[in-house]
Amino acid sequence: MKPEKEKLISIGDIVLLATVILLCVVVTVLLVTSREDGLEVEIVSDGEVVKTMELKKDAEYEVVTDRGTNLVVIEDGQVTVKEADCPDKVCVNHKPISMTGETIICLPHKLVIEIVE
Amino acid sequence: MSENKVNSVSQNKITALSGVFIALAMILSYLENLIPINVAVPGVKLGLANLVTIVSLFKLGLKPTIVISIGRIVLSGVLFGNVTVIIYSLAGAFLSILVMYIVKKIKIFTVTGVSICGAVAHNFGQIIVAALILENANIMYYMLVLAAIGALAGTAIGILSGIILKNIRF
């Protein structure tokens, strides 16, 4: 029996935690700084591109599938999801996207909205 | 026969405890669903049910832990979720248990380190499934946020597990 010897957290654990967080932060910073203003938005439903739109022009597009609907809106060069009938509303609450590589994802509807060059 | 094994838990006890642990894990994951964490990224959670996984991995061993996790996920999924939830959870749990088992064997970290690795592995398993279902590799970027938050949550759960492991007797 070694009741007191087992520590709850060791130096090794803290190093591990710090490494993971630092790595994530560094890679995120690198990614974000390398991003540029996107030109087009691609709407991918269930792995297939259903619509490509220019960011310059304000527009609306409703994605309707048998899983549900999402209303994608382009406004001032930024893309948001205005309305959706999915249960979690993660896509609706997502911040507007405009830079290349940024995505809004609706998992329940298998929908990916992605900014491309 | 197993009367001589003083330190290990007997087979009957493991079977009984597995049932208790499944019930406990189900309650914890239900409790967690009641507390919504609203972050921009989906999939962020504390991972309370992982407490049970860690305690059983350290106290009962690998096989009962796998049984407990599958039991919890399938039962919770059928009761409160759907097939998609079950697939996501199974992928996360499988990778998480595998990684925690290996890290525990290596013995460089305490239970907290094991928990951190398990949390990150859990997120990784789920993001792989999400990438496969959506047929889009770009969502792997979410892993950066998930891994950082997962490591923090894993630390909290790890310390809690350590306290439980110190005080539990059976």
CATH number at A82 reads: 2.60.320.10
Q: Which residue pairs, CB below 8 angstroms and at least 24 apart, start in B142-145?
A: B142/B41, B142/B43, B144/A24, B144/A27, B144/A28, B144/A31, B145/A24, B145/A28, B145/B41, B145/B44
DSSP H or E run through B145: helix B142-167
pLDDT at B45: 83
ipTM score of the complex? 0.83
Q: Could you report how far apart the first and last alpha carbons of chain A are, in Å?
A: 62
Q: What is the predicted pLDDT for the residue at B46?
A: 87
Percent of chain B with pLDDT over 90: 64
pLDDT of residue B38: 63
The two tokens of residue B93 are 């749990």
Residue A7 lies in a domain: no
Q: Assess if residue A101 is contained within a domain.
A: yes
Is there a contact between B136 and A20 if contact means CB atoms under 8 Å apart?
Answer: no
**Tokens 């591990």 belong to which residue?**
A16
Tens-digit pLDDT profile for residues B88-118: 999 999 999 999 999 999 989 999 999 999 9
- Going by the DSSP 8-state scheme, the letter that residue A97 receives in this structure is B
The answer to whether residue A74 is domain-embedded is: yes
Q: Which of B109, B139, B166 sits opposite A6 (nearest CB)?
A: B166
- What was the pLDDT predicted at B43? 66
The residue type at B159:
I
Closest in A88, A90, A114 to B138, CB measured: A114
Q: What is the pLDDT of residue A92?
A: 92
Identify whether A44 is part of a domain.
yes
Which pLDDT score, from 0 to 100, does residue A2 have? Answer: 44
Q: What total of structural domains would you count in chain A?
A: 1
B130 chain-A contacts, CB cut-off 8 A: 105, 107
Residue A34 included in any domain: no
> Considering the domain boundaries, does residue A24 fall inside one?
no
**How far away is chain B from the Cα of A110, in angstroms, using its nearest Cα?**
6
Ordered by where they begin, the domains of chain B are 2-167 (1.10.1760.20)
- Region A31-59: what's the mean pLDDT? 91
Q: What is the predicted pLDDT for the residue at A85?
A: 94
CB-based contact B38 A88, cutoff 8 Å: no
Nearest to A31 among B110, B141, B166 (CB): B141
* Residue B140 C-alpha, separation from nearest chain A C-alpha, in angstroms: 11
Contact check, Cβ <8 Å, B109/A12? yes
The answer to whether the Cβ–Cβ distance between A24 and B38 falls below 8 Å is no
Cross-chain Cβ contact A8/B40 below 8 Å:
no
Task: Give the nearest chain B residue to A93 (CA atoms).
Answer: B40
Contacts of A4 in chain B (CB under 8 A): none
pLDDT at B3 over 80: no
What is the SS3 string spanning A51-63? EEEECCCCEEEEE
Q: How many residues does chain B have?
A: 170
**Structural domain includes residue A35:** no
Nearest Cα of chain A lies from the Cα of B72 at a distance, in angstroms, of: 22
Quote the domain boundaries for residue A73.
40-116
Is residue A33, in this structure, part of any structural domain at all?
no
The chain B residue lying nearest A17, using CA atoms, is B151
- Model confidence at B6: pLDDT above 70: no
Burial of residue A72 (CB within 10 Å: 0-12, 13-18, 19+) is buried
The answer, yes or no, to whether residue A89 has pLDDT greater than 90, is no
Do residues A21 and B145 make contact, with C-beta atoms less than 8 angstroms apart? no
Give the mean pLDDT of chain B.
88
